[in-house]
Protein backbone atom coordinates (compact mmCIF):
# COMPACT_ATOMS: atom_id res chain seq x y z
CA UNK A 1 0.00 0.00 0.00
CA UNK A 2 1.27 3.51 -0.89
CA UNK A 3 2.43 5.28 2.26
CA UNK A 4 4.46 8.49 1.74
CA UNK A 5 5.35 8.51 5.46
CA UNK A 6 6.90 5.04 5.35
CA UNK A 7 10.13 4.95 7.39
CA UNK A 8 10.89 1.25 7.06
CA UNK A 9 14.50 0.58 7.99
CA UNK A 10 15.34 4.24 8.69
CA UNK A 11 17.53 4.66 11.77
CA UNK A 12 16.39 7.59 13.88
CA UNK A 13 17.65 9.06 17.16
CA UNK A 14 14.89 10.51 19.36
CA UNK A 15 16.00 12.63 22.31
CA UNK A 16 13.52 13.28 25.11
CA UNK A 17 12.06 9.85 24.35
CA UNK A 18 11.41 9.12 28.03
CA UNK A 19 8.39 11.44 28.20
CA UNK A 20 5.76 13.53 26.47
CA UNK A 21 6.34 14.55 22.86
CA UNK A 22 9.49 12.43 22.51
CA UNK A 23 7.75 9.29 23.76
CA UNK A 24 4.74 9.83 21.47
CA UNK A 25 7.07 10.55 18.54
CA UNK A 26 8.97 7.33 19.19
CA UNK A 27 5.75 5.32 19.16
CA UNK A 28 4.59 6.95 15.89
CA UNK A 29 7.97 6.42 14.19
CA UNK A 30 8.06 2.78 15.29
CA UNK A 31 4.63 2.22 13.72
CA UNK A 32 6.01 3.59 10.46
CA UNK A 33 8.88 1.09 10.49
CA UNK A 34 11.79 3.17 11.84
CA UNK A 35 14.57 1.63 13.91
CA UNK A 36 15.00 3.89 16.92
CA UNK A 37 17.61 4.99 19.39
CA UNK A 38 15.68 6.29 22.40
CA UNK A 39 17.41 8.88 24.58
CA UNK A 40 16.62 10.55 27.88
CA UNK A 41 18.35 10.58 31.26
CA UNK A 42 15.99 8.10 32.99
CA UNK A 43 16.72 4.53 31.90
CA UNK A 44 13.54 3.18 33.54
CA UNK A 45 11.34 5.67 31.67
CA UNK A 46 13.07 4.79 28.39
CA UNK A 47 12.16 1.15 29.01
CA UNK A 48 8.50 2.21 29.39
CA UNK A 49 8.71 3.96 26.02
CA UNK A 50 10.38 0.93 24.47
CA UNK A 51 7.54 -1.26 25.73
CA UNK A 52 5.04 1.03 23.96
CA UNK A 53 6.81 0.88 20.58
CA UNK A 54 6.02 -1.46 17.74
CA UNK A 55 8.76 -4.03 16.98
CA UNK A 56 10.38 -3.17 20.32
CA UNK A 57 13.25 -5.65 19.83
CA UNK A 58 14.76 -3.64 16.95
CA UNK A 59 15.14 -0.43 18.98
CA UNK A 60 17.87 0.65 21.37
CA UNK A 61 17.72 2.68 24.60
CA UNK A 62 20.62 4.95 25.43
CA UNK A 63 20.37 6.89 28.69
CA UNK A 64 22.65 9.91 28.41
CA UNK A 65 22.58 13.41 29.87
CA UNK A 66 22.72 15.88 26.97
CA UNK A 67 24.08 18.50 29.39
CA UNK A 68 27.42 16.74 28.77
CA UNK A 69 27.64 18.82 25.62
CA UNK A 70 31.20 18.02 24.60
CA UNK A 71 30.54 14.28 24.95
CA UNK A 72 27.61 14.32 22.49
CA UNK A 73 29.61 13.71 19.26
CA UNK A 74 31.46 10.77 20.86
CA UNK A 75 28.24 9.31 22.29
CA UNK A 76 26.49 9.47 18.90
CA UNK A 77 29.52 8.09 17.04
CA UNK A 78 29.64 5.14 19.46
CA UNK A 79 25.92 4.47 18.96
CA UNK A 80 26.38 3.98 15.23
CA UNK A 81 29.89 2.53 15.45
CA UNK A 82 30.82 -1.09 15.92
CA UNK A 83 28.72 -2.30 13.02
CA UNK A 84 25.65 -0.18 13.82
CA UNK A 85 23.85 1.35 10.83
CA UNK A 86 24.36 5.07 10.16
CA UNK A 87 21.67 7.59 11.07
CA UNK A 88 18.90 8.65 8.68
CA UNK A 89 17.32 11.07 11.11
CA UNK A 90 17.16 12.68 14.52
CA UNK A 91 14.32 14.33 16.43
CA UNK A 92 15.45 16.59 19.27
CA UNK A 93 12.57 16.55 21.73
CA UNK A 94 14.63 16.86 24.93
CA UNK A 95 14.05 20.18 26.58
CA UNK A 96 13.20 22.06 29.74
CA UNK A 97 10.77 24.82 30.65
CA UNK A 98 11.28 26.88 33.80
CA UNK A 99 9.42 30.03 34.70
CA UNK A 100 12.02 32.73 35.36
CA UNK A 101 10.84 36.27 36.08
CA UNK A 102 13.65 38.62 35.06
CA UNK A 103 14.17 39.72 38.69
CA UNK A 104 15.36 36.17 39.48
CA UNK A 105 17.38 35.48 36.34
CA UNK A 106 20.81 33.88 36.88
CA UNK A 107 23.38 32.13 34.71
CA UNK A 108 22.35 28.81 36.30
CA UNK A 109 18.64 29.13 35.54
CA UNK A 110 19.34 30.43 32.03
CA UNK A 111 21.57 27.39 31.43
CA UNK A 112 18.89 25.04 32.80
CA UNK A 113 16.98 25.73 29.57
CA UNK A 114 19.60 26.90 27.09
CA UNK A 115 21.69 23.76 27.53
CA UNK A 116 19.08 21.08 26.73
CA UNK A 117 16.97 23.22 24.38
CA UNK A 118 19.60 24.97 22.29
CA UNK A 119 23.20 24.01 23.03
CA UNK A 120 22.45 20.29 22.85
CA UNK A 121 20.73 20.85 19.48
CA UNK A 122 23.87 22.46 18.08
CA UNK A 123 26.03 19.62 19.34
CA UNK A 124 23.60 17.05 17.93
CA UNK A 125 23.83 18.73 14.53
CA UNK A 126 27.60 18.41 14.67
CA UNK A 127 27.29 14.78 15.76
CA UNK A 128 24.72 13.54 13.26
CA UNK A 129 26.30 15.26 10.26
CA UNK A 130 29.70 13.71 10.91
CA UNK A 131 31.19 11.33 8.36
CA UNK A 132 30.57 7.71 9.44
CA UNK A 133 27.44 8.79 11.34
CA UNK A 134 25.23 10.29 8.61
CA UNK A 135 23.69 7.86 6.12
CA UNK A 136 25.02 8.32 2.59
CA UNK A 137 21.47 9.05 1.42
CA UNK A 138 21.26 11.98 3.86
CA UNK A 139 19.91 12.86 7.28
CA UNK A 140 16.77 14.73 8.35
CA UNK A 141 16.96 16.57 11.68
CA UNK A 142 13.81 17.84 13.40
CA UNK A 143 14.13 20.31 16.27
CA UNK A 144 11.16 20.86 18.60
CA UNK A 145 10.86 24.61 19.03
CA UNK A 146 7.75 26.24 20.51
CA UNK A 147 5.01 28.73 19.79
CA UNK A 148 6.51 30.50 22.83
CA UNK A 149 9.13 31.72 20.35
CA UNK A 150 6.37 33.71 18.67
CA UNK A 151 4.07 34.76 21.51
CA UNK A 152 5.51 36.63 24.50
CA UNK A 153 4.62 35.75 28.09
CA UNK A 154 5.98 37.08 31.40
CA UNK A 155 8.65 34.85 32.94
CA UNK A 156 9.34 33.16 29.61
CA UNK A 157 12.16 35.33 28.22
CA UNK A 158 14.87 32.66 28.54
CA UNK A 159 12.66 29.80 27.34
CA UNK A 160 11.33 31.84 24.39
CA UNK A 161 14.88 32.90 23.49
CA UNK A 162 16.05 29.28 23.45
CA UNK A 163 13.20 28.33 21.12
CA UNK A 164 13.48 31.34 18.78
CA UNK A 165 17.20 30.57 18.52
CA UNK A 166 16.41 27.00 17.42
CA UNK A 167 14.72 28.36 14.31
CA UNK A 168 17.79 30.46 13.52
CA UNK A 169 19.91 27.34 14.03
CA UNK A 170 17.69 25.35 11.65
CA UNK A 171 17.99 27.99 8.92
CA UNK A 172 21.75 28.37 9.19
CA UNK A 173 22.36 24.63 9.53
CA UNK A 174 20.10 23.90 6.55
CA UNK A 175 22.31 26.08 4.39
CA UNK A 176 25.62 24.91 5.82
CA UNK A 177 24.80 21.21 5.70
CA UNK A 178 22.85 20.98 2.44
CA UNK A 179 25.93 19.75 0.58
CA UNK A 180 26.03 16.79 2.98
CA UNK A 181 22.34 16.11 2.26
CA UNK A 182 21.38 17.06 5.81
CA UNK A 183 17.95 18.69 6.12
CA UNK A 184 17.07 20.64 9.28
CA UNK A 185 13.56 21.81 10.24
CA UNK A 186 11.66 22.96 13.32
CA UNK A 187 8.22 22.18 14.66
CA UNK A 188 6.80 24.92 16.88
CA UNK A 189 3.86 23.56 18.88
CA UNK A 190 1.69 25.58 21.22
CA UNK A 191 0.26 23.73 24.23
CA UNK A 192 0.68 19.97 24.02
CA UNK A 193 -0.67 17.58 26.65
CA UNK A 194 2.53 16.30 28.30
CA UNK A 195 4.09 16.08 31.79
CA UNK A 196 5.88 19.39 31.04
CA UNK A 197 2.54 21.11 30.71
CA UNK A 198 1.15 19.35 33.80
CA UNK A 199 4.21 20.50 35.75
CA UNK A 200 3.67 24.10 34.66
CA UNK A 201 -0.04 24.03 35.50
CA UNK A 202 -0.98 26.37 38.31
CA UNK A 203 2.35 28.16 38.31
CA UNK A 204 2.77 29.96 35.02
CA UNK A 205 -0.16 28.89 32.93
CA UNK A 206 -3.64 30.27 32.92
CA UNK A 207 -5.32 27.28 31.33
CA UNK A 208 -8.72 28.87 30.92
CA UNK A 209 -7.12 31.68 28.88
CA UNK A 210 -5.01 29.21 26.89
CA UNK A 211 -8.06 27.13 26.01
CA UNK A 212 -9.82 30.27 24.79
CA UNK A 213 -6.85 31.27 22.61
CA UNK A 214 -5.94 27.78 21.41
CA UNK A 215 -9.39 27.29 20.05
CA UNK A 216 -8.76 23.91 18.37
CA UNK A 217 -7.85 22.57 21.82
CA UNK A 218 -4.75 21.30 23.60
CA UNK A 219 -2.62 19.31 21.13
CA UNK A 220 -2.18 15.54 21.33
CA UNK A 221 1.60 14.77 21.39
CA UNK A 222 1.04 12.09 18.73
CA UNK A 223 0.18 14.86 16.24
CA UNK A 224 3.66 16.35 16.78
CA UNK A 225 5.09 12.86 16.18
CA UNK A 226 3.24 12.58 12.87
CA UNK A 227 4.61 15.95 11.74
CA UNK A 228 8.11 14.78 12.71
CA UNK A 229 7.54 11.59 10.69
CA UNK A 230 6.60 13.67 7.65
CA UNK A 231 9.77 15.78 7.95
CA UNK A 232 11.88 12.62 8.32
CA UNK A 233 10.26 10.96 5.34
CA UNK A 234 11.15 11.11 1.66
CA UNK A 235 7.89 13.02 1.12
CA UNK A 236 9.70 16.06 2.60
CA UNK A 237 12.96 15.69 0.71
CA UNK A 238 12.92 19.28 -0.58
CA UNK A 239 11.98 20.84 2.78
CA UNK A 240 14.77 22.36 4.84
CA UNK A 241 15.28 25.42 7.07
CA UNK A 242 11.54 25.67 7.73
CA UNK A 243 9.50 25.99 10.88
CA UNK A 244 6.06 24.41 11.10
CA UNK A 245 3.74 26.09 13.59
CA UNK A 246 1.26 23.67 15.15
CA UNK A 247 -0.81 25.83 17.44
CA UNK A 248 -4.57 25.16 17.30
CA UNK A 249 -4.92 28.85 16.45
CA UNK A 250 -2.92 30.12 19.45
CA UNK A 251 -0.65 32.50 17.52
CA UNK A 252 -3.38 33.91 15.26
Ligand X SMILES: NC(=O)c1ccc[n+]([C@@H]2O[C@H](COP(=O)([O-])OP(=O)(O)OC[C@H]3O[C@@H](n4cnc5c(N)ncnc54)[C@H](OP(=O)(O)O)[C@@H]3O)[C@@H](O)[C@H]2O)c1
The answer to whether residue 40 forms part of the interface with ligand X (CB under 6 A) is: yes
45 binds ligand X (CB under 6 A): yes
Tell which positions 127-146 bind ligand X, by CB under 6 A: 144, 146
Binding-site string for ligand X from residue 67 to residue 106, where x marks contact by CB under 6 A and - marks none: x-------------------------xxxxx---------
What is the distance, to the nearest Å, from the Cα of residue 182 to the centroid of all Cα atoms in its chain?
16
* Residues of this chain, 211-250, that bind ligand X according to CB under 6 A: none
C-alpha–C-alpha distance, residues 174 and 54, integer Å: 31
Buried b (16+ CB within 10 A) or exposed e, 40-63: beeeebbeebbeebeeeeebebbe
Beta strands in the chain (DSSP E): 11-15, 35-40, 60-63, 89-92, 139-144, 182-189, 243-246
CB of 97 to ligand X, least distance (A): 5
Under rule CB under 6 A, how many of the chain's residues touch ligand X? 30
Choose between 1 and 152: whose C-beta lies nearer to ligand X: 152
CA neighbor of 16 nearest in space, from 26, 31, 1, 6: 26
**Binding site residues, ligand X, CB under 6 A:** 15-16, 18-22, 40-42, 45, 65-67, 93-97, 116-117, 144, 146, 189, 191-192, 194-197
Amino acid sequence: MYNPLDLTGKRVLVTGASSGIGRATAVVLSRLGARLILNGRRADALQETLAATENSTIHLCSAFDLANLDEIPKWVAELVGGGGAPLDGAVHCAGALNHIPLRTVSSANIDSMMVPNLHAALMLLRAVSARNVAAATGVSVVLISSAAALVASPGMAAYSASKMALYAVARAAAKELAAKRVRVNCIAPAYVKTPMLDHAAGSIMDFERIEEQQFLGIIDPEEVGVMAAYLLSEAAQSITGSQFVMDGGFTL
